A and B are shown apart, each in its own frame.
Chain A
């Protein structure tokens, strides 16, 4: 976990330096704001990973001498099939079409997205149809 954290922290530090130089030197603000946001995107998850990496034992994937047997057991629950991503995609499609062809398309759009959200959450609670 330490390598992952370091990558994000170093990227954040680099963007921080670039943001400082750019803000000081340039005459417009948009770029500086976007660079500061980039810095935060390095620092926020990076510091979280770093905090965690100091509190957890070495994972098998970080252990250079780990054997395949250490992966035995449950990795996680992976749903085999699910209709909800498609339903939500169609809902998002209608929401975007509402931007172009008329506000009424928001009705099927939001209905589909809500249905997919509820269905997906319920499916997740059950562990998915696998």
Chain B
């Protein structure tokens, strides 16, 4: 178990080359190193989180009083459209499969880089230019896109929404869509072809497994969105009538196409974060993942089912097959339940270390459970008819996505030291966690109730109703707490800047990224341990705990 390769792993046929590359801005422009690209993705995505968060704070400030006058009705439409668009298209997805996946996946499987480094760089540039394109709508005469982040036809056609803002929204999505597709191709090729010797598929860390499934989902879903956007653009400018009744088109076709991408997209966002918390919970419980194969099975099942549930967003259109989509949606609760069970099973009787990353992961678990359970209600058509387009739906998906933000923060606290070489301050981190976690619940609970009391979403002003006013005020307080937590995160980065050296393995980690240096060298590894389980670094550091194969149990050994 100790035969470690002591000389550098040869990668590429050009030997060492980390010392004579370009520096500064030119390095950033020309890099093909997955870690630098991943870091660029991380910084850009966090900036998008802050921009989207600012939109959210303005929205909540507007709703703090029934007849808010902070923004005009038209500006409010732009704000909620761009809040959703920035958070979904420009933050959550790219942060998950662009930022942390880019940095961590190749290292976890012992690869020197992504399979197609230049394609990887192109993905980043398309993501950055797409983000700029979409946001530049604010600087055009008609303002940014204002038809909601779902761009429903016929509201999004050239008669109802003329102007450059909508076209920039479409253009931005085309660029970021191709960026996602290229990243998907890259991840699949990397995971299929660049694993280290002994790293069989069923020894891959769960994070890598989840990213593989995410990448497959990207390849299944994103081309559909891109095709839909081309059709939408053609309707707006080339006189086609694909989505307009007047010319014989079908407006609801847009919803089919959009949600055929949109629901798998929910899991494209969620699965990487599921992977992050799986790693974090196992490491900080000092136990292997409970039910490894069950986790893989659950991930694959969620992905497979997610392609057959798109029209549960369209129950109230009256033209979809209610029983089919209801059954398929409810079925997703089963593999998700397996995951929740396995996360708790991993913590069960573990030596839990309540670090900031672990707290964030537990916060994710609780918040995601609330979001998941309310999703089961919404999968039932009679309940959905009652709550469709109310704040109940908004609360449901904000529970889900705020859980993902908690998981993302967990990922930053956990993997940040690997990529920068420095730890973040744990005390500030824990205060940040409590603001974020409490803020999330204070924000979502009142808007669940608002939804049940009939408040529709996307309203800039609302009737003078003492209950609605009170619940909106509480939600606004929650949003402020979440804002404070984001400020604390920035403060933490400034306070901890190059202050607490992390060492190679600060958490006594399980997977290969904790075997190499922090930050890793140019092609990631000078040496590799033997890979005999899904925890090669742990096996190497703790030879007293012999790794057991799948299906073998300590009890059997004792017998």
Interface residues of A (CB under 8 A from B): 1, 3-4, 7-8, 10-11, 14-15, 18, 21-22, 25-28, 30-31, 34-35, 37-38, 41, 49, 60-86, 88-90, 92-93, 96-97, 99-101, 120, 127, 130
CA distance A2 to B485 in the complex (A): 46
When distances are taken between beta carbons in the complex, the residues of chain A under 8 Å from B174 are 96
Does the CB pair A86–B219 fall under 8 Å?
Answer: no
CA distance A76 to B132 in the complex (A): 34
Cβ-defined contact, A92 with B523, below 8 A: no
Q: Which residues of A contact B168 (CB under 8 A)?
A: 100
CA of A120 to CA of B311, assembled, Å: 42
Q: How many A-B residue pairs have CB under 8 A?
A: 208
The 8 Å CB contact of A64, one of B119, B200, B311, is: B200
Cα(A10)–Cα(B257), bound, Å:
24
- In the complex, per-residue mask of B86-125: 1 if CB is within 8 Å of any chain A CB, else 0: 0000000000000000000000001111000111111011
B129 within 8 A of partner (CB): yes
Tell me, yes or no, whether B220 is within 8 Å of chain A by CB.
yes
**Nearest CB of chain A from residue B226's CB, rounded to whole Å:** 12
B548 shortest CB reach to chain A, Å: 13
- B residues less than 8 Å from A92 (CB atoms): 125-126, 129, 175, 178
Prevailing SS type, chain B contact patch: helix
CA distance A30 to B118 in the complex (A): 35
Please give, as numbers and ranges, the residues of chain A lying within 8 Å of B530 by CB-CB distance. Answer: 67-68
Do B12 and A77 have beta carbons less than 8 Å apart?
Answer: yes
Contact in complex: B201, A4 (CB < 8 Å): yes
Q: What's the least CB distance linking B547 to chain A, in Å?
A: 11
A90/B21 contact (C-beta < 8 A), A15-B304, A85-B119 known: no
- Please, how many angstroms separate the alpha-carbon atoms of A72 and B529 in the complex? 13
Q: Which residues of A lie under 8 Å from residue B167 when comparing CB positions?
A: 99-100
- Whether the pair B198, A65 counts as a contact (CB closer than 8 A) is yes
Does B30 lie within 8 Å of A86, measured CB to CB? yes
Cross-interface CB contact of B113 among A1, A78, A81, cutoff 8 Å = A78
| Chain A nearest CB, measured from B170 CB (Å) | 7
Decide: A25 near B324, CB < 8 A? Known: A96-B171, A100-B164: yes
Residues of A within 8 A of B194 (CB): 75
Q: Which partner residue on chain A sits nearest B114 by CB separation?
A: A78
Cα A27 to Cα B3 with chains together (Å)? 62
18 A-B pairs in the complex with CB atoms less than 8 angstroms apart = A4-B201, A7-B300, A15-B304, A21-B324, A22-B308, A22-B324, A49-B192, A68-B198, A68-B527, A71-B528, A74-B11, A76-B11, A78-B11, A81-B21, A85-B119, A89-B128, A100-B171, A101-B164
Name the CB-closest residue of A to B11. Answer: A75
Q: Is A68 a contact partner of B121 (Cβ separation < 8 A)?
A: no
A21-B324, A80-B32 are known; give 19 further A-B pairs, CB within 8 A.
Answer: A4-B201, A25-B321, A26-B324, A28-B319, A28-B320, A41-B220, A63-B200, A67-B3, A68-B4, A68-B198, A75-B11, A76-B11, A78-B523, A80-B33, A82-B30, A88-B125, A97-B171, A99-B170, A100-B164
The residue of chain A having its C-beta at the shortest distance from the C-beta of B223 within the complex is A37
Taking a contact as CB atoms under 8 Å apart, the answer to whether A75 and B10 are in contact is yes
Q: How far is the CB of B460 from chain A (nearest CB, A)?
A: 27
Q: How far is the CA of A62 from the CA of B32 in the complex (A)?
A: 27
- Give a binary string over B295-337; 1 marks a CB under 8 Å from any A CB, 0 the rest: 0000010011001101100000001110010001000000000
Q: Which residue in A18, A37, A68 is a CB contact (below 8 Å) of B528?
A: A68
Give the contacts of B28-85 with A (CB-CB under 8 A).
29-33
- Known pairs A26-B321, A38-B307, A68-B529; A130 contacts B12 (CB<8 A): yes
Residues of chain B within 8 A (CB-CB) of A93 are 125, 129, 132-133, 175
The closest CB in chain A to the CB of B308 belongs to: A18
Q: Which of B4, B14, B220 is the one whose CB lies under 8 Å from A38?
A: B220
Min distance, Cβ A36 to any Cβ of chain B, angstroms = 12
- Nearest B residue to A87 via CB reads B125
A33 → chain B closest CB, angstroms: 10
Which of A26, A62, A86 contacts B29 (CB under 8 A)?
A86
Chain A residues with CB under 8 Å of B22's CB are 81
Q: Flag whether B17 is at the interface (Cβ < 8 A).
A: yes
Q: CA A60 – CA B197 in complex, angstroms? A: 5
Q: Is B233 an interface residue (CB 8 A)?
A: yes
CA distance A4 to B171 in the complex (A): 35
Q: Which residues of B contact A7 (CB under 8 A)?
A: 300
Contact, CB under 8 Å: A67 / B197: yes
Q: Which residues, 478 to 508 on B, are CB-close (under 8 Å) to A? A: none
**Are A61 and B14 within 8 A (Cβ)?**
no
A61 engages B178 (CB within 8 Å): no
Q: Which of A49, A62, A64, A89 contacts B122 (CB 8 A)?
A: A89
Question: Which single residue of chain A is at the shortest CB-CB distance from B174?
Answer: A96
Indicate if the CB atoms of B118 and A82 lie closer than 8 Å: yes
Whether the Cβ atoms of B220 and A3 lie closer than 8 Å is: no
Whether the Cβ atoms of A60 and B198 lie closer than 8 Å is: yes
B128 CB contacts on chain A under 8 angstroms: 89
Q: Which of B10, B197, B328, B532 contacts A61 (CB 8 A)?
A: B197
Which residues of A sit under 8 angstroms from B32, Cβ to Cβ?
78-82, 85
What mask results when residues 166 to 201 of chain B are scored 1 for a CB within 8 Å of chain A, else 0?
011011101100100000000000001011111111
- Residues from chain B with a CB closer than 8 A to the CB of A63 are 197-198, 200
CB of B207, distance to nearest CB on chain A (Å): 17
Residues of A within 8 A of B303 (CB): 11
